[in-house]
Structure 1
Amino acid sequence: MTRLFQWKWPLLAPVFGALLTLAFAPYGYSYMALISMAFFYRFCVVQPAGRAALCGYLFGLGLFGFGIWWVYISIHDFGGADPISSGLLAVLLVAIWALFPALTAYLSAKLLAMAGVWFRLPAVALVWVAVEYFRGYWLLNGFPWLQVAYGQLNAPLAGYAPLAGVYGVGFLLALTAALLTECWRVKTLRLPAISILCAIWGGGWLLRGVQWTHAVGEPIQVTLLQGNIAQDQKWQTDQRLNTLRLYLQLTEQHWDSDVIVWPETAIPAFLSEVKDFYLDPLSAKAREKGVDLVVGLPSYGAGKDYYNSVITLGETEAIYHKQHLLPFGEYLPLQPLSGWVLDRLQIPLGNFASGGTRQPLLKAGGYPFVTTICYEDAFGELVSRQVGQAAYLVNVTNDGWFGNTPQPYQHMQMAQMRALETGRYLLRATNTGLTGVVGPDGKILAQAPLFTATTLTGTIIPMAGLTPYARWGDRAVFGGLVLLVGMVWGLVKFAGR
């Protein structure tokens, strides 16, 4: 019986890690995050740090194994790798990202063994989001997928997103889970813990009704194009003219809109290859109709550099180059090892250049907007540092690499958080879905279905003003959380308990 008890936590850890994925889109069971994270803290409490780390790793295998299994689709179906190599690479990625819950568990177990429960609780919550931040921003250019705050988009804690972003929301969720765990263990904590929880969750519910930004102009009619070009056909040269004709036809149906947005790399050719015969006449027609176009395509820069870009056509012609590149998709980190491995597996990947952070905002419909290309909408600070002069947000994406899996829904959920954090409307045009219009409250106002060639027309309002999060950014949020934990530690030391 004792041996069974010893193996109980390792056996349950991957199960509860997998259950955490149910908090995210497309499932949307936000409170599963509390159940899963409460278990996470429970096994940290009852075990030494080394064993807690093992359970944390198994928890991570469940979380990422069930949460990002769709990378196999990208590698095998569209990357061209054989099933065995694709499976091994997918397992390797899951195994790497599972190290982060292991680190969180190890550090949490160390903290939870310390004296002073009122210090331990916020300290372990800070550890959770600090490890998420390191994973999301720094390692291999960042992988912020499955950060727990995204699963709270429709829950009361989302009210804190305009104040403190995803890491502030994640901190409060982790603190809630830790409080629930301590209430279970220590009966004398129940009354004060319940009071704190009511304040946190009640405050979030009240904050959902606060409008942090305000309208600065008349409504803008927008149309988003979703071409639904199959990924295995997209870059075939014999299909290029068909693709160009399709987007031209879809555009000509909506000259009554103020802004028309095409998806990421909607044009499967470099800017210089299509400028004279296609883009220049299109831009002239847009000016004649009084419409601004936002178009995604690759472009060459100086020397041998090439970029994943967005251009505006019509009244104002300008270009934006993607700045935050996708590792192992748009560039190869860990060179030369990664390049050698992928060459052996015969997986063709891009080697794009970054456009850098000092790029002026593009303008359409009479107002400047923040542009993000695909993966960039996963980084809150990238958006927030540009939003001061922007009236709305535009994201162009191609999630066709991942088929009919949870990935497009997870990606849309992250984009919704950017709208909520900044108090701006978001236009999101994708190749295969999910194309949509998102309001400043993070709610989807209109959405096109997956894998359908269609257009989506809606109305947005240009907004101004800064939410507290847009004004402060992630670094200030972390500084505030560290200060809070330090103050609690000081009070506990002063009180002698």
Structure 2
Amino acid sequence: MKYEISGKKRFSAFSLYTLSFLSGVVMGLTVAPVGAWFLAWIALAPLWILIIKNEKLKIKNSGEKSSFLIALAWGIGYHGVALSWITGIHPMNWLGVPWWPSLAITLFCWAFVSLWGGIFVAVWATVMARVAQQQPWLRVLIGTAVWCGLESLWSAGPLWWSSLAYTQSPHNLVILHLGQISGPNTVTAAIAAINGLIAEAWINRQYRNKYLAIASGIFITCHLIGLLLYSRPIAQPPAAALKVGIIQGNIPNKIKLLPEGLRRALTGYTNGYLTLVDQGVNAVLTPEGALPFFQRDLMRTSLASAVQQKGVVVWIGAFGERGRSYTNSLFNVTGNGEITSRYDKAKLVPLGEYIPFENILGGIVQRLSPLDEHQVPGLPNQIFDTPFGRAIVGICYESAFPDVFRRQAANGGQFILSSSNDAHYSAAMPLQHHAQDIMRAIETDRWTARATNTGYSAFVNPHGKTLWISGYNTYETHAEIIYRRQTQTLYVRWGDWLTPILLGLSALGWGVNIFWQNDGNTELRS
């Protein structure tokens, strides 16, 4: 079967899907490890062209199902490349999983997250197929609004990572400052709209210069607004200064729960704490699960004894308890050895930290876990008070969910503590994770201390500049001065207000356009 995409050329269905897939792959190259961020401003345009052309020409067998599959191929290409770091979980011998089952599980996880992302794009394409006969300006408005709306919907669920906005982090800090206006969807809207205008310039050749000029104008205007926000000086009053130390323990997951891993953790974090105290830090941050102990045993460790001896606050990653279940938590341990605050990770990794549809899959998947207990998520609207003021906490996967940080900033959080363990993935993952934390720092206008198990630990200022970043698979300690802030960006105060406005304008524009069409048809009949 052949599909006509232009007036002269014909492509086989296979070629059509391959072209869409490769376009998605190009979008996947925008993030680590390649980091070709500039491709994001054109990589969506080919899919846009394929969908609109495919619908407008009314080719045989080119209805919504065809558009759905074309977009599915693009989404699999994008998410499959961007999330390929998930293959780093193989081999899972540290969980006692044999090599071949480990490979099967890894390929399943990679295929699932790629397909999940593909379905997201396919849903968007289904809507675009419905509006293919509308005016180009309306298609751009609707396409942008629906993409932002779907990102909001997907990010409200348990499985989310690769927003269009994060294609610009950490390289294009100027455009990322649009996140202070209405969150990451502000950046996503700019990328989607410009891709749409480029696509419409290709589709409507007679108006090519017009649409390209509008695309260039939006691109320049968005960057000028971002530059204005980026250029604002950051107040650094001495009274708000806080010298924070981080410890990157570098404990491989395969030995983490074994006697050797426990010894290395206790020695490494205790000695690191003492080293940082000698450097005059006010507090020390450790990674996610730095000490794999429950809260009841935490105060009997050598690190807790060192805290009682030195009197310097430490934020320890360990496990909390909730009935017969446990939480992945960060504890505020004061200088006298008391735990005064606890933050429980609220966004858990599906399959990695909890079992979806546990009643159905629990008996199968649980065999892969070395733990008898079940991990449960933390409650919403948690607060984490420290002797230096309220902090914003994100534990590992939560870095992908901007609203987790926004809520805490709105509730008085003055600085960000990001505690992670990315040891079980490939090296691209911690780079993307760092990129996510940069976005959260910019959106909330907060300084960030990021401690990871194996890298990359870092300190980031409110403009997204990385002041220091660790090596990878290294043991390190580092101290840096950050500043507590109480500013509130538009995004922190109002959340994502842009997406509802875009959706509302799209509905209004569609309705008005239909009214005009019906009114014109009535006049012709009369």
Give the TM-score of the pair, scaled to structure 2.
Answer: 0.86
Q: Is the 8 A contact 2:383 2:390 kept in 1?
A: no
Supply the AA of the counterpart residue of 1:72: T
Fraction of identical pairs, as percent? 24
Query: SS of the counterpart of 1:400?
Result: coil
Q: Secondary structure at the match of 2:228?
A: coil
The match for 1:298 among 319, 326, 337 is 319
- 1:445 and 2:484 correspond: no
Question: 1:35 is matched with which residue?
Answer: 42
Is 1:378 aligned with 2:413? no
Aligned to 2:349: 326
Mapped partners of 2:215, 2:120: distance in 1? 27
Larger radius of gyration: 2
d(CA) in 2 for partners of 1:177, 1:49: 21
2:452 alignment counterpart: 430
2:59 aligned residue: none
The alignment partner of 1:387 has SS state of helix
Which residue of 243, 253, 257 corresponds with 2:281?
257
Deviates more, 1:307-316 or 1:371-380: 307-316
Question: Do the aligned residues in 2 keep the contact of 1:362 with 1:371 (CA within 8 Å)?
Answer: no
Q: Which residue of 1 aligns with 2:126?
A: 106
The CA deviation string for residues 50-79 of structure 1, in whole angstroms up to 9 with x for no partner, is 211111111122122222223232253354
- Out of 376, 380, 385, the position equivalent to 1:353 is 376
The residue type equivalent to 1:294 in the other structure is: W
8 Å contact kept, 2:276–2:478: no
| 1:465–1:495 Cα change, 3 Å | farther
The answer for the alignment partner of 1:281 in structure 2 is 305
Q: Is the 8 A contact 1:425 1:438 kept in 2?
A: yes
CA contact (8 A) 1:294 1:313 kept: yes
Aligned partner of 2:182 in structure 1 is 164
**For 1:277-308, what per-residue CA distance to the aligned partner results, in whole angstroms no more than 9, with x for missing partners?**
53542332342xxx32111111223x213111
Of the candidates 5, 10, 23, which is equivalent to residue 11 of structure 2? 5
Tell me the equivalent position of 1:149: 165
Q: How does 1:481-496 map to 2 (within 5 A)?
A: 481-489=502-510, 492=513
* Per-residue CA distance 1:316-342 (angstroms, 9 max, x = gap): 732211122222122111222332332
- Secondary structure in 1 aligned to 2:346? coil
Determine if contact 2:236/2:483 at 8 Å carries over to the other structure: yes
Letter in structure 1 aligned against 2:422: D
Letter in 2 for 1:65: G
* Counterpart mapping for 1:265-276 below 5 A: 265-276=289-300
The worse-fitting range, judged by mean Cα deviation, of 389-398 and 25-34 is 25-34
Match of 1:178 in 2: 196
SS at match of 1:298: strand
- Would you say the 8 A contact 2:80–2:113 is kept in 1? no
Contact 1:163 1:467 (C-alpha < 8 Å) held by counterparts: yes
Query: What per-residue deviation string (whole Å, max 9, x for no partner) do you get for residues 365-387 of structure 1?
Result: x2221011111111111110110
Q: Deviations over 1:395-417 (max 9, x none)?
A: 1000001133x111111111111
Cα gap change, 1:320/1:68 in structure 2, threshold over 3 Å: closer, same or farther?
Answer: same
Please name the residue that 2:140 is paired with: 121
Could you say which residue in structure 2 is the equivalent of 1:245?
267
Shift of 1:21: 1.2
- Equivalent position SS for 1:170: helix
Matched with 2:331 is 311
8 Å CA contact 2:30, 2:37 repeated in 1: yes
Which residue number corresponds to residue 416 of structure 1?
A: 438
Question: What corresponds to 1:224 in structure 2?
Answer: 246
In structure 2, the CA distance between the partners of 1:277 and 1:49, relative to structure 1 (3 Å rule), is closer
How far apart are the structure 1 equivalents of 2:2 and 2:301?
76
Q: Give me the whole-angstrom Cα distance separating, in 2, the residues matched to 1:179 and 1:157.
A: 18
Out of 84, 95, 114, the residue aligned to residue 69 of structure 1 is 84
1:200 has 2:218 as partner: yes
Contact kept, 8 Å, 2:355 with 2:365, in 1: the verdict is no
Residue number in structure 2 paired with 1:468: 490
Are the aligned partners of 1:212 and 1:423 in contact in 2 as well (CA < 8 Å)? Answer: no
SS of structure 2 residue aligned to 1:98: helix
Query: 1:85: Cα distance to partner?
Result: 4.1
Q: Which moved more, 1:202-211 or 1:394-403?
A: 202-211
For structure 1, the 5+ residue unaligned runs are none
Q: Distance in 2 between matches of 1:42 and 1:266?
A: 49
1:251 aligns to what SS in structure 2?
Answer: helix
Secondary structure of 2:327 counterpart: strand
Q: Is the 8 A contact 2:415 2:447 kept in 1?
A: yes
Q: In the TM superposition, what whole-angstrom CA distance separates every residue of 1:233-286 from its partner, at most 9, and x where no partner exists?
A: 111134313310111101111111122111111002212123135354233234
TM-score under structure 1 normalisation?
0.91
Query: Could you say what secondary structure the match of 1:23 adopts?
Result: coil
Moved more, 431-440 or 178-187: 178-187
Secondary structure at 1:276's aligned position in 2? Answer: coil
Give SS of 2:178's match: helix
Q: Is the 8 A contact 2:251 2:261 kept in 1?
A: no
Distance in 2 (CA, whole Å) between partners of 1:212 and 1:123 is 37
Unpaired runs of 5+ residues, structure 2, are: 4-9, 55-62, 521-526
| RMSD between superposed Cα atoms in Å | 2.4
Q: Distance in 1 between matches of 2:446 and 2:219?
A: 24
Opposite residue 184 of structure 1, the aligned amino acid is W
Deviation at 1:89, TM superposition (A): 4.0
2:93 counterpart of 1:86: no
Q: 1:212 to 1:337 in 2, by over 3 A?
A: farther
Task: Give the AA of the match of 2:114.
Answer: V
Distance apart, 1:120 and its partner CA: 1.3
